[in-house]
Amino acid sequence: QQNVQQSPESLIVPEGARTSLNCTFSDSASQYFWWYRQHSGKAPKALMSIFSNGEKEEGRFTIHLNKASLHFSLHIRDSQPSDSALYLCAVSWPNYNVLYFGSGTKLTVEP
Amino acid sequence: EAAVTQSPRNKVAVTGGKVTLSCNQTNNHNNMYWYRQDTGHGLRLIHYSYGAGSTEKGDIPDGYKASRPSQENFSLILELATPSQTSVYFCASGDARGGNTEVFFGKGTRLTVV
């Protein structure tokens, strides 16, 4: 059984700040790691994924993965008000056909 | 863009009544999922399916049944609805290749059991 935990529960940052969201998982054999973003009242939508240790950057967003530490994170550079949303991390392991989600971090970016 | 359509979008049900939530996908995905979302719990998996005729229990299946009559359709059934099942329910679909491919979500159904 996968146990996915997120921190912090909520975060308020000023526009232009660098934001860091954290996720821990319970099985070091886990292989597929995702961040989903859900704007208020909308469907969750995939933001980024990573499948091996290290770092992956896409625009203002960067994912770090450290499987030995059972930890991955999402970093947002130059945060914008449009980034305000619920961020959900997910791990697709032990059943790689299923996403196991954390409880989410609510991010608010203030203008 | 992958399409997952849920109906109804909002539903009020009485305690003890039967509720059916429907989901249709036009992505030709093998895998389909039902999650519920409650504040502080993120998305919790109720049932999922690998294809027509298949249903599997997720992490919180008690009080729910699922039906997958075709590749496109996946239903969630509450035979005897209870107030604790008040929640927002999301259907999703994903490719059979699994974890390294994106899962696409519908817009959700808000269910209130009174």
Q: Does A35 score more than 90 pLDDT?
A: yes
Say whether residue A26 is in contact with chain B using an 8 A CB cutoff.
no
Question: B36 to chain A nearest CA, in Å?
Answer: 11
Q: Answer whether A97 sits within 8 Å of B98, measured CB to CB.
A: yes
Note the pLDDT of residue A93.
81
Q: Does B107 score more than 90 pLDDT?
A: yes
Q: Compute the average pLDDT of residues B34-52.
A: 94
Return d(Cα B105, Cα B3) in angstroms, integer: 8
End-to-end, the C-alpha distance of chain B in Å comes to 36
Q: Are A23 and A71 in contact (CB under 8 A)?
A: yes
| Per-residue pLDDT band at B39 (split at 50, 70, 90) | confident
Average per-residue pLDDT in chain B?
A: 95
| Per-residue pLDDT band at B1 (split at 50, 70, 90) | low
Please tell me which of the candidates A88, A96, A101 has its beta carbon nearest to residue B99. A96
Q: Answer whether A43 sits within 8 Å of B90, measured CB to CB.
A: yes
Q: Does A56 score more than 80 pLDDT?
A: yes
Return d(Cα B59, Cα B53) in angstroms, integer: 20
Q: Are B111 and B88 in contact (CB under 8 A)?
A: yes
Question: A97 to chain B nearest CA, in Å?
Answer: 4
Q: Are B44 and B57 in contact (CB under 8 A)?
A: no
Q: Does B110 score more than 70 pLDDT?
A: yes
Q: Are B37 and B85 in contact (CB under 8 A)?
A: no
Average per-residue pLDDT in chain A?
A: 95
**SS3 for B59?**
coil
Question: A18 to chain B nearest CA, in Å?
Answer: 24
Q: Does A1 score more than 80 pLDDT?
A: no
Q: Which residues of chain A make contact with B107, given a CB cutoff of 8 A?
A: 42-43
List the 79-98 stretch of B: residues with Cβ below 8 A of A: 90, 94, 96, 98
Q: Answer whether A92 sits within 8 Å of B99, measured CB to CB.
A: yes
| Per-residue pLDDT band at A95 (split at 50, 70, 90) | confident
Q: Which residues of chain B make contact with A72, given a CB cutoff of 8 A?
A: none
Residue B84: what are its φ and ψ, rounded to 5°? Answer: -70, -10
What are the residues facing B5 on neighbouring strands?
B24
Q: Does A75 score more than 80 pLDDT?
A: yes
Q: Which residues of chain B make contact with A99, given a CB cutoff of 8 A?
A: 33, 43, 45, 94, 99, 103
Distances A54 to A24, A88, B49, B73 between C-alpha atoms, Å: 15, 20, 32, 38
